[in-house]
Structure 1
Amino acid sequence: MFNKILIANRGEIALRIIRTCKEMDILTVAVYSTADKDSLHVRFADEAVCIGPPSSTESYLSIPRIMAAVEITNADAVHPGYGFLAENADFAEVCQQYGIKFIGPTPDMIRKMGDKVTAKETMIKAGVPVVPGSDGLVKDVAHGQKIAADIGYPVIIKATAGGGGKGMRIVKSKDKFEEMWDSARREAKSSFGNDGIYVEKFIEEPRHIEFQIIGDQFGKVIHLSERDCTIQRRHQKLIEECPSPFMTPELREEMGIASIKAGSCINYEGVGTVEFLVDKHRKFYFMEMNTRIQVEHPVTEEVIDHDLIKEQIKVAAGEPLSGENHIPQLHAIECRINAEDPFNDFRPSPGKIQSFHSAKGHGVRVDTHVYAGYTVPPYYDSMIAKLICKAQTREECITKMRRALNEFIIEGIKTTIPFHKQLMENKKFIEGDFNTSFMDTFEIKEE
C-alpha cells in the first residue's frame, strides 16, 4: 500500500480523497493555489504545498509544479480526482516515468478512451452498440453534409477532444449544417486546441444513463450498476440518481454486459464510467467513457455501501477485486449545489458565505469544502457542495431530499438550492417522465 498520496486537485473532491486516505492510514499532501489557501482540503491534509496563483494553467493544470510538489514531499502516488489533469495521458505518463503511481488507468487507456473517435472505433470492435455516424474524423464540411444526408437529420456535430458540451452542435436541417460546423470547430479549437470533428445521428428524447465500472490489474472488470444523469442544462449534469426510473432488469443486464465489454477490451484498470444514450424504445448506444472518478460517485456509494475512492486506491496498489457486479437495493439522489443564481440564467455567484447550515439526518450526506466565512473564488467550477439522500424507494428519497433542501441554508451568495427545491416538486420529475431536453421547458419561479 502507498505511504503518501498527493491529491492533484482542489475543493470537495480533494477533501473527499483525504478522508478516505486517513481511514486507510495513508499520509496526504494537498496542493493549492493562492485563491484556495483557506479551503478545507488544505487544512485537513497532512502537508500542503502552494503551487501557484489562481489561474488553473499556472497551478492545478501545471504538470511541472505538481511534480515539484511530489518531489519535495516524497509522495509515492498521485490521485488526480476529477477535472483538471484527471484524464490527461501526458500527466499519467510523467508520473510513470518518475516512478510515481498515477491512481487511475494507464496513459494508453486514457488515450484510447479520451479521443471520442478512437473510443468509438474501440467499442465497435468490442461489440458495444454505438450511435450511427462518421467513421472517424470528418475531413471537411462537404464530407460532413454527405454523412448527415446518409444517416438522416437531426445530427449532432461533436469535437473529438470535447467535454462539458463544448464543441457540440445539434443540426436539424441541411441549410444550417455549415454554420454549425464552423461554430463547433471554432469553439473546439479555443477550448481544447484541437478542432477535429465527427458527426453522429442525434438521438431524440434520450436518457443519459451511465454505468460505473472498476477493473483491477489482473484483467477482472465488474460493474456497480447505473446512474441516471438525464437532467442536464447545456450538457452539464444537475442531478443524478440510482437506480434509473427508466431502467428494467433486462435492460440493466444488457447494459451491464456492454459496460464490462467496454472495460475489458482495453484491460481497464481503476474506476471508470461508461456513458450511454438510451432512446425511448430502450435501445442504448455508447457515448463515451470517463477514465476517472465521477462527481456523482456518491450516488453509487450510497446504494451499494462501498467507498469507491478506497476501491480505486486498492486497485492502484495492485490488490485484486474481490466483489462481483452490484444491483442497487436502495434509491439515492444527488443534487449538485452550485454558486449560481438560478433566477438569472444560472449566472455564477462567487463571494463570501455569510452563514452555512448543512442538511443532516438519517440517509442524508453532504460533501463540501465550504463553510461560513469561506470566500468562493471566481476562478474555478461553481460547484460548492453535493447533497445526497438515500431511502428504500424513489418516492421516499424525493421526500427526504425535499426536507434536506429546506434545511440546507447558505447565505451571502446565490446558490442552486431553490432550483432543486422546485425540481423535487415537479410532476414530471416525480413520475420519472423526462429526457435530456427536460430543462428546455422547465420554468424556475421566483420565490
Structure 2
Amino acid sequence: MRKIVIANRGEIAVRIIKTAKNMGIKTVAVYSEADRNAPHVIQADEAVCIGPAPSSESYLKGDTIIKVAKDKNADAIHPGYGFLSENAEFAEKVKANDLLFIGPKPHAIRVMGSKLAAKDAVKSYDIPMVPGIDEAITDVGKTKEIANEIGFPILIKASAGGGGKGMRIVEREAELAEQMKRAISEAESAFGDGSVFIEKYVASPRHVEIQVLADSFGNTLHLFERECSVQRRHQKVVEEAPSAVLTPELRAKMGEAAVKVARACDYLGAGTVEFLLDENHNFYFLEMNTRLQVEHPVTEWITGIDLVEQQIKIAQGEALDFKQEDLAIHGHAIELRVYAEDSFDNFMPSVGTLERYRPPSGENIRVDDGFREGMQVPIHYDPMLSKLITWGKTRNEAIQRMLTAIEAYEVVGVSTTLPFGRFVCEHEAFRSGAFDTHFVKKYYSEEILQEQMKVDAEIAAKVALHRYLKDLEKLRLPNQ
C-alpha cells in the first residue's frame, strides 16, 4: 500500500495520517470548504476540496471521494469513524473500483448495522441476550403482551439506531402506545428506518465493550475491554481501560463472547462488541460497531498495539503477527472527550473562534485533536475538539494525571466539557468504580458544578493572598 485517501476530518484524520507516515504510506486528505485550514489538510501529503460545509455535500459524497482516490492513484480508502465508515454500499463501491476499503466486508457492516439482524446472526453462538423480542414490531397490542411477559420497565429501541435516537424507556403499560409512536417516528427521521423492537430494561447497567481484531486467515483476537459508562444523552464522554469491576474470569468470558460475535459475521479488521453489564455482573450482547471507535487510544495504551496500523495491515492481506496469549494489560488509561459544549447549560453545543487553544503535554499525556488556535468551531459537524488521554501504572495514577492535564488545558472562545471531566474524576462514585450509565442523572447538575467552581475560586484566591503576603514579608527591609 503506497497511498491512502482519508474519507474523514478532524482528529481521526490526523490520527490516521500519523500512523500512515510511520508506515511510509502517503496520504490524501479530503476536506469541505469549512475545513480548508484544518490540521488534517495541512498534514496530509495531498489535499482535495470535495464540497461545501454540510456533510451531505462533502464528507458523505462517496462517489466524489472514490473519484479523488482514482485521480490521485491511491490504493485504499480509510473511512475513520462516522460519515461513511459503516455504509455497506460505500464499501462495495470502493471494492468495485479496485480500491481497498480499510474496514470490514460489506456483509459484516450490513448485518451488524441492524440490531435485529445482529441478534439473529449471533443467536446460535450461545451469546447472552437481554430478554425481549428479536423482530421488528409495530402492533401495540402484541407489544403489551410481550412487555407483560418480560416485565416492566422495558426499552423500545430502533433497529438501525445509535446515539440514543429511537430509544424509549417505558415504565408502565399506560405509556406504551405513545412511546411506541414516538420511537418509530424518531427512528424514521434519524435513520430512514422505523423498525423498532423491545427488550427488558436493565435498570443499573454498565456499558462495557470489547475490542476485536480479525484477519483474513481465520485469526480473531480480543484486546480486552473498555468501560464507557459515563455518558450524557446516551453518548460516551469518559472512557477507560481496563474496567474497574471486571475480574480476570469475567474478562475472559466477555472476550470469548466478543470473538464469537465477530466470527458470526465473518468479520475483518478492527471492530468493537458492546455489552451491558448488570449489577450482578451478568453481561448481555448489545451491538457491534464495525469500525474504529473514538475511544480506541485507551486500548492502544494498555496493550501497546497501534490499531490503525493493524487495520491497514489486515486490509492489505497481512496476518496478525501476535496471538491471544501474547496480549496483556499494562497499567490503566482514561480518555475524556473534549466537546465544544457548555457543561453549565445541559451540554448545549458551543460555537465560536478558538481565541486561545493550548492542549496539555507531558509524560503519559496524549491529545488527539484536529484544531489549532484561531480556528472556528463549525456548526456542521460533531462538536468534539479533541480526545484527552492519560496513562498510569494504576487507575488512581491515571485519574490524577487526567486532573493535572485538565487543569493545564487552555481553551478560550468556546465552552468545553473540561469542567465536567474534572467533576467526574473527582467524584467518589467514579474514583471508587461504583458507577453505571446513570452517573450523570444520579450525581451531576450544573448547580453542583457551579458551586464546586465557586469553592475552588475562593480557595485559589486565599492561596494567592497568602503567597502575596509572604512575598511582602520577604521584601520588607530589616529596619521597617
Q: TM-score range by the shorter chain?
A: over 0.9
Alignment partners' CA distance in 1, 2:382 and 2:433: 29
Question: Paired residue for 2:355?
Answer: 354
Q: In the alignment, residue 387 of structure 1 is paired with which amino acid?
A: L
Question: Paired residue for 1:128?
Answer: 127
Which digits, 9 at most, give the CA deviation of each residue in 1:284-310, with x for residues without a partner?
000000000000000000111111100
Conservation of the 8 A alpha-carbon contact between 1:128 and 1:258: yes
Alignment partners' CA distance in 1, 2:178 and 2:184: 10
Question: Paired residue for 1:410?
Answer: 411
Q: In the alignment, residue 419 of structure 1 is paired with which amino acid?
A: F
Please state whether the residue corresponding to 1:289 is helix, strand or coil.
strand
Superposition pairs for residues 40-59 of structure 1, below 5 Å?
A: 40-59=39-58
Alignment partners' CA distance in 2, 1:308 and 1:71: 26
- Whether 1:422 aligns to 2:428 is no
Alignment partners' CA distance in 1, 2:99 and 2:148: 49
- Whether 1:205 aligns to 2:204 is yes
Alignment partners' CA distance in 1, 2:64 and 2:147: 45
Q: Which runs of 5+ in 1 are unaligned?
A: none
Q: Which runs of 5+ in 2 are unaligned?
A: 454-480
Alignment partners' CA distance in 2, 1:195 and 1:139: 9
Which digits, 9 at most, give the CA deviation of each residue in 1:239-270, with x for residues without a partner?
10011011111100110110111112222100
Question: Paired residue for 2:464?
Answer: none
How far residue 71 of structure 1 moved from its aligned partner, in angstroms, is 2.1
Q: In the alignment, residue 299 of structure 1 is paired with which amino acid?
A: V
Please identify, of 320-329 and 41-50, the stretch whose mean Cα deviation from structure 2 is larger: 320-329
Alignment partners' CA distance in 2, 1:239 and 1:192: 26
Alignment partners' CA distance in 1, 2:174 and 2:273: 34
Please state whether the residue corresponding to 2:286 is helix, strand or coil.
strand
Question: Paired residue for 2:10?
Answer: 11
Q: In the alignment, residue 417 of structure 2 is paired with which amino acid?
A: T
Conservation of the 8 A alpha-carbon contact between 2:31 and 2:51: yes
Please state whether the residue corresponding to 2:399 is helix, strand or coil.
helix
How far residue 351 of structure 1 moved from its aligned partner, in angstroms, is 1.2
User: What is the identity percentage for the equivalent residue pairs of Structure 1 and Structure 2?
Assistant: 48
Please state whether the residue corresponding to 1:213 is helix, strand or coil.
strand
How far residue 343 of structure 1 moved from its aligned partner, in angstroms, is 0.3
Alignment partners' CA distance in 1, 2:76 and 2:420: 39
Question: Paired residue for 2:266?
Answer: 267
- Whether 1:237 aligns to 2:236 is yes
How far residue 143 of structure 1 moved from its aligned partner, in angstroms, is 2.0
Alignment partners' CA distance in 1, 2:138 and 2:425: 45
Please identify, of 218-227 and 128-137, the stretch whose mean Cα deviation from structure 2 is larger: 128-137
Alignment partners' CA distance in 2, 1:38 and 1:385: 17
Which digits, 9 at most, give the CA deviation of each residue in 1:181-224, with x for residues without a partner?
11111111111110011111111111000000000011110000
Question: Paired residue for 1:225?
Answer: 224
How far residue 102 of structure 1 moved from its aligned partner, in angstroms, is 0.5
Superposition pairs for residues 20-39 of structure 1, below 5 Å?
A: 20-39=19-38
Alignment partners' CA distance in 2, 1:101 and 1:125: 31
Conservation of the 8 A alpha-carbon contact between 1:219 and 1:268: no
How far residue 137 of structure 1 moved from its aligned partner, in angstroms, is 1.1
Please state whether the residue corresponding to 2:147 is helix, strand or coil.
helix
How far residue 160 of structure 1 moved from its aligned partner, in angstroms, is 0.6
Question: Paired residue for 2:283?
Answer: 284
Question: Paired residue for 2:468?
Answer: none
- Whether 1:185 aligns to 2:187 is no
Alignment partners' CA distance in 2, 1:169 and 1:133: 14
How far residue 135 of structure 1 moved from its aligned partner, in angstroms, is 2.7
Conservation of the 8 A alpha-carbon contact between 2:240 and 2:335: yes
Which digits, 9 at most, give the CA deviation of each residue in 1:351-377, with x for residues without a partner?
110111111111100000111111111
Please tell me whether Structure 1 or Structure 2 has the larger radius of gyration of its CA atoms: 2
Alignment partners' CA distance in 1, 2:128 and 2:354: 46
Number of equivalenced pairs: 446
Q: In the alignment, residue 362 of structure 1 is paired with which amino acid?
A: E
Please identify, of 120-129 and 76-85, the stretch whose mean Cα deviation from structure 2 is larger: 120-129
Question: Paired residue for 1:371?
Answer: 372
Conservation of the 8 A alpha-carbon contact between 2:107 and 2:265: no
- Whether 1:443 aligns to 2:442 is no
Alignment partners' CA distance in 2, 1:392 and 1:305: 14
Q: Which has more helix, going by share of residues?
A: 2
- Whether 1:153 aligns to 2:155 is no
Alignment partners' CA distance in 2, 1:11 and 1:144: 43
Please state whether the residue corresponding to 2:426 is helix, strand or coil.
coil
Alignment partners' CA distance in 2, 1:328 and 1:145: 46
Please identify, of 288-297 and 105-114, the stretch whose mean Cα deviation from structure 2 is larger: 105-114
Alignment partners' CA distance in 2, 1:99 and 1:237: 36
Question: Paired residue for 2:469?
Answer: none
Please state whether the residue corresponding to 1:131 is helix, strand or coil.
coil
Q: In the alignment, residue 69 of structure 1 is paired with which amino acid?
A: V
Alignment partners' CA distance in 1, 2:47 and 2:163: 30
Moved runs in structure 1, 4+ residues, more than 3 A?
none
Q: In the alignment, residue 334 of structure 1 is paired with which amino acid?
A: E
Which digits, 9 at most, give the CA deviation of each residue in 1:298-335, with x for residues without a partner?
00001111111001100111000121233312100000
Conservation of the 8 A alpha-carbon contact between 2:32 and 2:58: yes
